[in-house]
Structure 1
Amino acid sequence: MASRSPKPPAAPGSDRELRADARRNREQVLRTAQRLFAAEGLGVSLDEIARRAGVGPGTVHRHFPSKEALYLAVSIDQLKQLAAEGEALAATGDPAALFTLLSRMMSSGAENAAVKSALLAAEFDVRTAAPDVAADLTSRVADLLGRAHAVGVVRPDLTADEVMALVAGAFAAIRHANAESSPERSARIARLILDGLRPRTTS
């Protein structure tokens, strides 16, 4: 069978190069927005996000016509990152990788609690807006949970739906404790919740 010849590099100014450039700009805006929202709150303007991302204001407004659209995109991007992390953890073969992923999910939720609250206030549901992405993350959690069950590092009666519900509950607990801005306090709350997933020991 003849080997496939590699794609030639995109010519300067070609549609393919422009599409790649637009994707890079969008990703840079998302990363910058995520960082600024977590560090400085939701009052950061789209123009300031553009300046910090090193792109023109028109680029940001073209991709994200409103703050709500940017909030939603940031949240969906986080789910994609977490799903990718789950896939990478599965490849390590670590039976306790479930706890690593859940810790990261809770940390991500704490860091971006303001964005999630804004979406709730605007009646945006990430699971409805990006069902495939949400389902992919749930699938990664279910896979890691199955591996954890196989070696007995989690409660045998624990289900993937319960795990996802507990992660959502962790966000609420962290907000209730006003711990969003304290990595130490939010991490402690996460540890307390994760400890409840481990097998019960008999004395």
Structure 2
Amino acid sequence: MQTVGGRTSVEPGHPRRADALRNRERLLVAARETFAEEGPDASLNEIARRAGVGPGTLYRHFPTRRALQSAVLADRIDRLRERADELAATSPAEALTAWLHAFLAHARSDHGLTGSLLSEPLEPGFDCHEIIRKAATLVLTRAQQAGAARPDVSADDLIRLVVGIALSAGPDADPGQAARLLDLVLEAVRTSPALE
């Protein structure tokens, strides 16, 4: 097994044990919750405790704080990408609205995690900014092709607007305010009342 950017890749012929996979997933869930509550400097011992494992198990899966942070962020980015794909089954207008709300929730729950990792890529071939841009492009292009979104809006425009909302209506602010600000952005992007 090799650990790269917090993700453990299994060498061919060496499947991971089911209990090791469960422990890794429990650690990611506990880390996601703990970082969201306490920020990127949260106690690793507290994360292990919440996951129901010892510190040694945490360090076997994630040898450094950065490896754990990278794995949590990569998992969150993967979920955003998967959400964009899942929304392809809904109307393009609904997909754009739902994905932007999911992206806003992601950006608001960051609590400094992304900033603490910006100095280096998470892992080779994993560019979180590019993955988010592609997901945003997917939902926006579908909405534009359906005539539900202005053709002069770019995915980068939407990403910057949503990040701006997340920063201005910080994690401790009224979540209703962030949603209202996003609704204003969506009003500006709409070409028809269908984008609700």
Per the normalisation by structure 1, the TM-score is 0.74
Residues 23-172 of structure 1 correspond to what in structure 2 (within 5 A)?
23-120=21-118, 123-126=119-122, 130-131=126-127, 134-172=129-167
Instruction: In structure 1, list runs of 5 or more residues that go unmatched.
Output: 1-13
Displacement of 1:184: 2.6
Does the 8 Å CA contact 1:97/1:144 hold for their aligned counterparts?
A: yes
Instruction: In structure 2, list runs of 5 or more residues that go unmatched.
Output: 1-12
Residues 146-178 of structure 1: CA deviation (Å, up to 9, x unaligned): 22112322112112233333333333333xxxx
Does 2:191 correspond to 1:192?
Answer: no
Q: After superposing the two structures, state which structure 1 stretch, 109-118 or 77-86, moved more.
A: 109-118
Sort the Cα spacing of 1:191 and 1:68 in 2 relative to 1 into closer, same or farther, 3 A: farther
CA distance in structure 2 between the partners assigned to 1:28 and 1:112 by the alignment: 19
- Structure with bigger gyration radius: 1
Which structure features the higher share of helix residues? Answer: 1
Sort the Cα spacing of 1:137 and 1:41 in 2 relative to 1 into closer, same or farther, 3 A: closer
Q: Could you say what secondary structure the match of 1:16 adopts?
A: coil
Does the 8 Å CA contact 1:75/1:115 hold for their aligned counterparts?
A: yes
Pairwise CA RMSD? 2.8
Sort the Cα spacing of 1:39 and 1:58 in 2 relative to 1 into closer, same or farther, 3 A: same
Sort the Cα spacing of 1:199 and 1:95 in 2 relative to 1 into closer, same or farther, 3 A: closer
Q: After superposing the two structures, state which structure 1 stretch, 146-155 or 162-171, moved more.
A: 162-171
Sort the Cα spacing of 1:189 and 1:113 in 2 relative to 1 into closer, same or farther, 3 A: farther
CA distance in structure 2 between the partners assigned to 1:195 and 1:127 by the alignment: 37
Per the normalisation by structure 2, the TM-score is 0.76
Q: Could you say what secondary structure the match of 1:153 adopts?
A: coil
CA distance in structure 2 between the partners assigned to 1:80 and 1:97 by the alignment: 17
CA distance in structure 2 between the partners assigned to 1:190 and 1:95 by the alignment: 14
Superposed structure 1 runs of 4+ greater than 4 Å apart: 125-129
Does the 8 Å CA contact 2:92/2:139 hold for their aligned counterparts?
A: no
> Matched residue pairs, number?
180
Q: Could you say what secondary structure the match of 1:96 adopts?
A: helix
Displacement of 1:94: 4.4
Residues 115-170 of structure 1: CA deviation (Å, up to 9, x unaligned): 123234xx245597712x65444333222212211232211211223333333333
